[in-house]
Amino acid sequence: MSRTAERTGSVQVRDVRRTFGRGRKQVEALGPVDLDVRAGEFVSIVGPSGCGKSTLLRAIGGLIRPTSGRIELDVVGDHPLAMIFQDYGIYPWKRVLDNVRFGLDIQGVPRREGDLRARDWLERLGLGDFAGSWPHELSGGMRQRVSIARAMTADPEILLMDEPFAALDAQLRALLQEELLQISQRDPRTVLFVTHSLAEAILLADRVVVMSARPGRILLDRQVPFGRPRTPDIRRSPEFAELEDELWQTLRAEVTEQLGTQREALGGASDGSR
Ligand SMILES: Nc1ncnc2c1ncn2[C@@H]1O[C@H](COP(=O)(O)OP(=O)(O)OP(=O)(O)O)[C@@H](O)[C@H]1O
């Protein structure tokens, strides 16, 4: 059983802002954002392109510092977080098993135990026969499974997933969504999941948060009206369609506004050049 049985892994984001650059090149990327995620809760984050979703995730993951505000994680382990990115983040020079064991190697877990845990997750993700393969020998979907296996093997209290399925074709994406749904129900833990797909967001999460155009703030925070365990069949229910529609209405307004601003900026630039 994972550490969430001890109810750790909650996340508190308080009045967090992040800017990049200085002077005229300064970009207000994020905030102010307030967000509470309970231990064991799965929260999906959606928002227009460039609104600061990755920035928020990277700040929670400790990869960047907020410009202001604070982030608190209620965790007990020394390595409480794992991140999964769109580009898989696996090392081409390491075989599959070594990639999956990598986080454990860093934690100083003995190799034998690391191998057992890594093989266990490779089996669960249908990659048992590929432990000795090189990443280039795998398909995109298999590589993404390797990065999921690596994150899960580390048994993090908090899992941060940044558009993990964006690079996959529609069928593979649907398959991995279903696998992730099963994994997250069998082995619950705190997950923050960034996606551009509203249906994916609802299928997987307990809550969906919609962010505004940059600098991203939280516009809508909705509980998903389906308990656990659930199956992908919920996609066919009227409640699913209703929530998807509500999220889209909010998101649509933001995307439209963003497009308008971009058009104005382009129009201004071309006027100026005439
Ligand atoms: N290291 C950086 N230096 C300068 N600007 C940055 C940096 N990282 C992000 N930004 C800017 O901050 C804004 C938010 O970026 P971020 O990647 O967080 O958005 P996002 O919502 O994840 O976008 P997408 O949905 O397209 O992946 C963007 O305008 C981006 O250009």
pLDDT digits (tens, 9 = 90+) for 153-166: 988 999 999 998 88
Taking the model in full, what pTM does it have?
A: 0.90
Q: Does the predicted interface ipTM exceed a cut of 0.90?
A: yes
Lowest mean pLDDT among 45-49, 130-134, 151-155, 195-199: 151-155
CA 86 to ligand 1 center in whole angstroms: 14
Q: What is the mean pLDDT of the chain?
A: 90
CA–CA gap between residue 182 and residue 150 (Å, rounded):
17
Whether residue 271 is predicted with pLDDT greater than 50 in this model: the reply is no
**Residue bearing the CA closest to ligand 1, atom 4:** 20
In percent, the amount of the chain with pLDDT more than 90 equals: 68
- Contact in structure between 42 and 11 (CB atoms under 8 Å): no
- Per-residue pLDDT, 6: 60
Res. 3 pLDDT band, cuts 50 70 90: very low
- Per-residue pLDDT, 266: 73
Site to substitute for ligand 1 among 16, 53, 87, most atoms within 8 A of C-beta = 53
Q: Which atom of ligand 1 is nearest to the CA of 57?
A: 18
Res. 270 pLDDT band, cuts 50 70 90: very low
**Residue bearing the CA closest to ligand 1, atom 25:** 49
Pocket residues: Cβ below 6 A from ligand 1: 20-21, 27, 29, 47, 49-55, 214
Kindly list the distances between the CA atom of residue 211 and the CA atoms of 14, 143, 235, in Å, as whole numbers in the listed order: 15, 29, 23
Site to substitute for ligand 1 among 28, 54, 218, most atoms within 8 A of C-beta = 54
- Element holding 60 (H helix, E strand): helix 53-60
